[in-house]
Amino acid sequence: MIFYRFYQGSVVDMRSFVSERAKETPISGIRVIFEKAQRVSDVIRLEVGEPDFDTPEHIRAAAVRALNKGETHYTSSAGVLELREEISRKFRVDNSLEYDAKTQIVVSAGAVNSLNLALMTIIDPGDEVLVPDPGWANYEVLIGLAQGVPVRYPLRERNSFKSDPEELRGKISPKAKAIIVCTPSNPTGSVLDIRHLQEIASIAEEYDLMVISDEVYEKIIYGNAVHQSIGALPGMANRVVTVNAFSKTYAMTGWRLGYAGGPSEVISQMIKLNTGLNTCASSISQIAGIEALRGPQDSVRQMREEYLRRRDFLLERLRQIPGFTCVVPEGAFYAFPNIQKFGLSSFDFAMALLDRAKVSTVPGSAFGPLGEGYVRFSYANSMERIGKAMDRIQEAIRSGLKVNKA
Ligand code: PLP
C-alpha cells in the first residue's frame, strides 16, 4: 500500500486523507483467495459466487434493441415504471407479496445496492442488526457503512444451518432494530422452511424488528425444498423489505440489476437515497430486465437442473474423500462441507487446496466465526472442471493434507 506521495516538491501523507470508516471496513475473505488464485496457473475456480452460464439470448437481444433505440438516458430513481410493474406481478405470482409498482418498489444496481439503501434507511448510528453466522460477509460491511452494529445469530450444522429461535432471542438487545434473513443461504445452501420463517416473524413482532429478506437465490432450489417469502406471512407486510435481483436467477451478475419491495414509507426513502447514491440502475439493464421477467423462463429451469446435477456429483465426490462431511444443500450453488477432521483452520485448508491442488475455495471463516471448520465450494462450474478439481483434491489429501484422527 502506498501512503506517501511526492507532489511538486512536497511529501503528502495520504493516510490523513483516508477515513477511519474506509480503513475499518474489512477486506472480504473471498477477495484474499480470489487475488491469490489469480496468480496460480491452471487453477480451478470453485470460489466464484456467480453463475457460469451466459445471460439467456432473448434477454441479451432485448438489451441490444434498447441500445439501438437510444434507451441510454437516466431513468427515474425508482426504476422504469414498466419494469416495476413486472416486478410487482412477479412478487404477487411467485411470492404472494402485494407491492404496488408506483409506491412500494425500487429498482437498484444489483441486490447489494438494495441492501445498502434498506440499511441506510432503517438504521441509525449504533442500532444493531442481526446477521446470520455463517452468512454473506457483505452484510457486515453494509451495516458498518450505515454506522450500525452487526450482531451475529448462529446457524449451526446440527440444525442443518437453520435458525434456532431460542439462540436468536438470546442475541436481541434493546438496541436491535432489524434482522437480515437469507434464504436460500450463501454460503450453506440451506433453505428456511415455513416453521423457521414463522418463528423469525413472531420474534420480529415481539421485539419490534424490521426484517430484510435477501431472496437472491430463490429460483435455485432443489428437491422438496420450497422458497417462501417471510413478507407474505400474516402481519409481516409492514415490517419486511424483500430484496431480490436478476443476478443469480438469470445469470446477469454483470448487468447490476436488483430490486426491493416493502412498505411505501421505507421504499420512498430508499428511492430518495438512491437518487443521491446512484441516480438509477442502468437503463439498458432495466429494459433487459422487463424481458427477463416477461419472457420464457425455460433457461431458469435448465440452469437449476444443471446445478442440481453438479450438486449431486460434487456431494458424491466429497463423500468418497475421507474427512469431509456435508449437509445436503437445498438451494443456491454452494456446498459447505465440514473440514474439522483435517485439523487445519479453514483458511489454512483453503490455502493448502490452492497450493497443493490448484483449486480455489473460500474458507468458512470468511462468513463469520461459525464458518470456521468449513469451506465453501461453488458448483457454478462445469461437471468436467468440478470432476478435475475433485481428482486433484483427492490426490492432494491422499498425499499430504492429513486427516486428524484425534
Ligand atoms: N445476497 C447474497 C446472499 C449474495 O450471495 C449476493 C452475491 O453473491 C448478493 C446478495 C449480491 O447480489 P447482486 O450481484 O445482485 O448485488
Q: Supply the pLDDT for residue 7.
A: 64
Say if residue 81 is in the same domain as residue 192: yes
Whether the per-residue pLDDT at 395 is higher than 50: the answer is yes
Residue at 405 is within a domain? no
Ligand 1 atom nearest 135 alpha carbon:
3
Please indicate, yes or no, whether residues 100 and 226 belong to a single structural domain of this protein. Answer: yes
Mean pLDDT across 19-31: 84
The residue contributing the CA closest to ligand 1 atom 3 is: 186
Residue whose CB lies within 8 A of the most ligand 1 atoms, among 28, 106, 136, for a mutation test: 136
Which atom of ligand 1 sits closest to the CA of residue 182?
3
My answer on whether 304 and 239 are in the same domain is: no
Report how far ligand 1's centroid is from the alpha carbon of 263 (Å). Answer: 22
**Number of domains forming the structure of the chain:** 2
Ligand 1 atom 5 nearest Cα? 186
pLDDT attached to residue 1: 52
Which atom of ligand 1 lies at the shortest distance from residue 114's CA?
16
Q: Is the pLDDT of residue 223 over 80?
A: yes
Say if residue 104 is in the same domain as residue 165: yes
For residue 111, the CA-to-ligand 1 centroid distance in Å is: 6
Write down the residue that cell numbers 491452471 correspond to: 42
Is the omega angle on the peptide bond into residue 132 within 30 degrees of 0, that is, cis? no
In terms of residues, how long is the chain?
A: 406
pLDDT for the residue numbered 404: 45
Residue 266 lies in a domain: yes
Which of 294, 310, 337 is the last residue before a domain boundary? 294
- The closest-lying atom of ligand 1 relative to the alpha carbon of residue 112 is 16
> 3 in a domain, yes or no?
no
Residues 245 and 129 in one domain: yes
Within this chain, do residues 281 and 367 fall inside the same structural domain, yes or no?
no
Domain-located, residue 5:
no
Q: Is 122 inside a domain boundary?
A: yes
Assign 256 a pLDDT band (cuts: 50, 70, 90): very high
User: Same structural domain for residues 264 and 122?
Assistant: yes
Q: Mean pLDDT across the stretch 357-383? A: 97
Residue where one domain finishes, among candidates 294, 324, 343: 294
Task: Look at residues 244, 279, 294 and tell me which one is the last residue of a structural domain.
Answer: 294
User: In which band, very low, low, confident or very high, does the pLDDT at 401 lie, cut at 50, 70 and 90?
Assistant: confident
65 CA to centre of ligand 1 in angstroms: 27
Ligand 1 atom at shortest distance from the alpha carbon of 214: 1
If asked whether residues 81 and 102 sit together in one domain, one would say yes
Q: How much distance in Å is there from the Cα of 107 to the middle of ligand 1?
A: 15
Q: Which domain holds residue 385?
A: 10-55+299-398
CA distances from 283 to 77, 279, 364 (A): 11, 11, 37
Site residues for ligand 1, CB cut-off 6 Å: 49, 110-112, 136, 182, 186, 214, 216, 245, 247, 253, 258
Scanning 147-251, the segments in alpha helix (DSSP H) are 165-170, 194-206
63 and 26 share one domain: no
Residues in contact with 58: Cβ distance below 8 Å, sequence separation at least 6, in sequence order: 291, 295, 296
Query: Do 141 and 243 fall into the same domain?
Result: yes
* Residue 23 and residue 76 share a domain: no
Sign of the CA dihedral running 25, 239, 293, 276: negative
Residue range 79-112, pLDDT digits in tens: 999 999 999 999 999 999 999 999 999 999 999 9
Q: Are residues 279 and 138 in the same domain?
A: yes
Query: Is pLDDT of 230 > 80?
Result: yes
Distance of CA 104 to the CA centre of its chain: 22
Cα separations in angstroms, 160 against 164, 208, 358: 10, 27, 29
